[in-house]
Structure 1
Amino acid sequence: MLSILGFLTIIVFLSLIFTKRLSVLLSLIIVPVIFALVGGFEPKEIGEMILTGIKQVAPTGILLVFAVLYFAIMIDTGLFDPIIKRIIKLAKGDPLKITLGTAILTMLVHLDGDGTATFMITITALLPIYKRLGMNKLILPCIVALSAGVMHLVPWSGTLARALNVMKTDPTHLLIPVLPAMACGILWVLSVAYWLGRQERRRLGIVHLDYDHEQELSENQKRIRRPQLFWFNGIFTVLLIVALVLGLVPPAALFIMGFAVALLVNYPSQVEQRKRLQEHAANVFSVSVVIFAAGVFSGILLGTKMIDAMALSMVAIIPKEHAGYLPVLVGVTGMPLSLVFTPDAYYFGVIPVLKTAAMHYGLNSIEIGRAAILGQMTTGFPLSPLTASTFVLVGLSEVELADHQKFTFKWALGTTLIMTLIAILTGAIHI
């Protein structure tokens, strides 16, 4: 019963946002509450599940609020203007060069394994260029998502940390055998970026962009620029990102302090400080509130044990004579199941069951872990409504989640399928 309710919750939720009959915000709250009530759970129990889920996402929500405010202040000061000018100069108005540059930049930035930081940095720097060229606004989050997804296989990412923990192994046994697959995944992403860029070049042509960036700014934008503080803002931002990567300070606390310093130094007047906050308040609220709604969704799925029931149901439907295909099945389904399972639920709930089943059938259980990381919350995490960073991506890109998922899903699934095929051919997983 719980398994059916769990799958129905996911199906109804995805149907509502894909058809745009209900906003993502309301769907994340209303759908799980209704199915929890149908499952016989008391309102008080549901309320406790909601609070538990919100507590779990609270650090990310707070991080998002102050990180978005911080980078918004940096945009106001003009910190990214030289980067934008440089990229435009190198691309020479060619959409193909822009898309390839987007993929390469994202892969480099995502070497730290932090999706939220990657999305904030890349989208903030590149969105003005895409707007200026008139490119399809869904291409930027698509390429960034694909690039971050394949690079999320680095051993210090949250996903790999979970996989290593559950499989009770080290990167040498889990990750090294799938490196050829990862390399092919990177080539696939670059190929997709090339294809999308070529399509945009055909549509738009090569746009002449020999223009003075200053002339593109409004009078208010010129007024709030702080060129005299460029080096301070640049060095301070680099130090902030280094501290984030090294984990010197909890991320939320880091950006709270960073935002306070940035606002005070660049805009010491309290009147200007209020104006800056008012200017960005709507964007911050619209992005961050969805994070807490996602906490409601995951809190109820976990609290009702729907996710546990779904995991057991999935294992139960595998016929014994087809058990040898289990690693391949895990690899192929990993990316789509990122839309259904949180990383904790999948790696701490589903994978142990699949690992035990593999051992029962005489398979090498480590292959379950290798197959899982080829898609589940790696290539799939930037599309999942269950990860906070997805809402950072779509919010900063100024696109709807449903539109992003429709546009990007086939390319992300392609990444997983390519990597699974290479993993089979190289012996990382067997049939």
Structure 2
Amino acid sequence: MLHSNGNEMVFTIGQVSGIELGIIGYLVIALVLVLIIGKITYVIPTLIIVPVLGAILAGFGPADLGEFAGEGLAGIVEITAMFAFAVWYFAIMRDYGLFDPLVHRVVDTVLQRPAMLTIGTVVLAAVTHLDGAGATTMLITIPALLPLYIALDVDTKILAALVALSAGTMNLVPWGGVTVRGISAIDTATVGNIYTPLIPSQIAGFVTIILIAYYFSRRVDRTIDLTASEKEALVEDAVGGEIAAVNRMWGINLVLTLLIVAILMADITSPAIVFMVGLVIALLLNVRDYDDQREILEEYAPDVMTYVGILFAAGILLGVLNESGMITEMATILLMIIPESLGRFIPVIVGIIAAPASLVFSPDAYYFGVLPVLAETAAAFGLEEEAVVRASLIGQHTVGFPISPLTGATYLLIGLAEVDLGEHIKFTFLWAWLVSLVMLAVAILTGAVPLL
């Protein structure tokens, strides 16, 4: 801004407001999307430096930036803690054989009744994705079942599709990576008001996937041409060796896991403290030696810290957008564009287009860049922001997580299943969108996503 200082003109930077502040906010989001989608800079530095530059451009100083960052980080600490300790907890459960009996049972059942191959794929992929980690699901499910698909001469695109659909729908759990992003992006969002209303939709999603699996089961031969020793080898390979007998500790681990999930669904206390205490109990029950405890926590620390870093960096972006007023002005601009007659349908529209949008936006770009603007705009129309989060999750989970070319899990999936990316998207996308639309319909019927 220019002002007079005696006989000379002096240029100073002042804080902008109104439409100008909203435009800067959109420039921040646009640059974040370009850098992340174009893989120009990694998501963590992008989410930090871009909003800082935007705040400086808007005229805010170091003290303001410190306040914005503090507020943004405070809003995501709890969900970040829940995610970190959930990853450690399920890593221990996996390493100590919680999923092995299920893997053994599914593979053995398929060998006895080949027609159950596709149903077994859905069950195995859904349960092994209980930890919310895509890599776990792919590395357990696909190597265990791929030899069976080949032996039965079943198209491996079906394997990739069913794993993608099952893992994508199970990823709706509160500690799933995309759910964590959605909850952390909106101040008023919690596990209780986001996940709990979507439980009927998640159940409907799995029912739909089972029906899809049944449809594909008609392509499976009713006999399998393997010797007894070959079948036994397949079962052992599926669990990484000879399966240990189910013992008392396995039962205790199962009860502990079910108890944790039940407490989370009941929303009795903070999800973070649930997994913190759960991790301590899991360690005391299964890993009592000091060095072993340190080793297992350090082994999975890289997985934990990567997402913790992303969430903390997102806290900077969200803090700047919210506390500076950018997000409000961005919503004001949208209000000027969107007809009032369509405004009340924002959650439903988001739910419909979230699936195809996931092929364009990475989870980080969508949840930390696009979602806050959509939620604020919906609030301006008198709708609850949480409804937009729920609608986004319905579409983003079944498609964005295991199908989008912008997520790493997709490449692990197609690599293990030996399927081309283009063929995978072409074969799976419409099935995934169908599942998401069924889930959206149930969400509308239950009121999780308001129609009016």
Is 2:148 the partner of 1:128? Answer: no
Partner in structure 2 of residue 353 of structure 1 = 380
Is 2:167 the partner of 1:144? Answer: yes
Give the whole-Å Cα distance in 1 for the aligned partners of 2:434 and 2:203.
Answer: 14
Is 2:240 the partner of 1:249? Answer: no
Give the whole-Å Cα distance in 1 for the aligned partners of 2:324 and 2:386.
Answer: 29
Kept in 2, the 8 Å contact 1:331–1:416? The answer is no
Give the whole-Å Cα distance in 1 for the aligned partners of 2:443 and 2:88.
Answer: 42
Gap change, CA 1:383 and 1:9, over 3 Å in 2: farther
Equivalent AA in structure 1 for residue 341 of structure 2: G
CA displacement 1:208-250 (0-9 Å, x = unmatched): 865365566779x999x99552122222222222222223332
Kept in 2, the 8 Å contact 1:49–1:300? The answer is yes
How do residues 55-134 of structure 1 correspond to structure 2 at under 5 angstroms? 55-92=74-111, 96-97=118-119, 100-101=122-123, 105=126, 120=132, 124=136, 127-133=139-145
Which of 336, 341, 352 does residue 316 from structure 1 map onto? Answer: 336
Shift in Å at residue 82 of structure 1?
0.7
Give the whole-Å Cα distance in 2 for the aligned partners of 1:282 and 1:372.
Answer: 32
Partner in structure 1 of residue 8 of structure 2 = none
Partner in structure 1 of residue 177 of structure 2 = none
Partner in structure 1 of residue 310 of structure 2 = 290
Partner in structure 2 of residue 232 of structure 1 = 252
Shift in Å at residue 72 of structure 1?
1.0
Partner in structure 2 of residue 211 of structure 1 = 233
CA displacement 1:169-227 (0-9 Å, x = unmatched): xxxxxx9xxx9x999977776677789x89x99xxx999865365566779x999x995
Which of 255, 259, 283 does residue 263 from structure 1 map onto? Answer: 283
How do residues 154-173 of structure 1 correspond to structure 2 at under 5 angstroms? none
Partner in structure 2 of residue 171 of structure 1 = none
Shift in Å at residue 57 of structure 1?
0.9
Is 2:36 the partner of 1:36? Answer: no
* Superposition RMSD in Å: 5.3
Gap change, CA 1:97 and 1:71, over 3 Å in 2: same
Give % identity. Answer: 25
Name the stretch that deviates more: 52-61 or 4-13. 4-13
Give the whole-Å Cα distance in 1 for the aligned partners of 2:124 and 2:97.
Answer: 20
Shift in Å at residue 284 of structure 1?
1.9
Give the whole-Å Cα distance in 1 for the aligned partners of 2:83 and 2:333.
Answer: 35
Kept in 2, the 8 Å contact 1:150–1:185? The answer is no
Is 2:398 the partner of 1:375? Answer: no
Kept in 1, the 8 Å contact 2:264–2:271? The answer is yes
Q: Which protein shows a greater Rg?
A: 2
CA displacement 1:248-288 (0-9 Å, x = unmatched): 33221122122112112212221222222222222222232
Kept in 2, the 8 Å contact 1:53–1:296? The answer is yes
Equivalent AA in structure 2 for residue 130 of structure 1: I
Give the whole-Å Cα distance in 2 for the aligned partners of 1:286 and 1:60.
Answer: 15
Secondary structure of 2:233's partner? coil
Give the whole-Å Cα distance in 2 for the aligned partners of 1:421 and 1:268.
Answer: 48
Give the whole-Å Cα distance in 2 for the aligned partners of 1:372 and 1:11.
Answer: 20
Partner in structure 2 of residue 113 of structure 1 = none
Partner in structure 1 of residue 45 of structure 2 = 26
Equivalent AA in structure 2 for residue 53 of structure 1: G
Equivalent AA in structure 2 for residue 349 of structure 1: E
CA displacement 1:69-102 (0-9 Å, x = unmatched): 1111111211211122223334558874455446
Equivalent AA in structure 1 for residue 142 of structure 2: Y
Give the whole-Å Cα distance in 2 for the aligned partners of 1:37 and 1:138.
Answer: 46
Shift in Å at residue 11 of structure 1?
2.4
Kept in 1, the 8 Å contact 2:102–2:124? The answer is no
Name the stretch that deviates more: 45-54 or 207-216. 207-216
CA displacement 1:334-379 (0-9 Å, x = unmatched): 55499257899568732232239xxxxxxxxxxx999958734443
Give the whole-Å Cα distance in 1 for the aligned partners of 2:385 and 2:55.
Answer: 31
Kept in 1, the 8 Å contact 2:107–2:238? The answer is no
Gap change, CA 1:67 and 1:209, over 3 Å in 2: farther
How do residues 262-281 of structure 1 correspond to structure 2 at under 5 angstroms? 262-281=282-301
- Residues matched between the structures, number: 368
Shift in Å at residue 120 of structure 1?
2.8
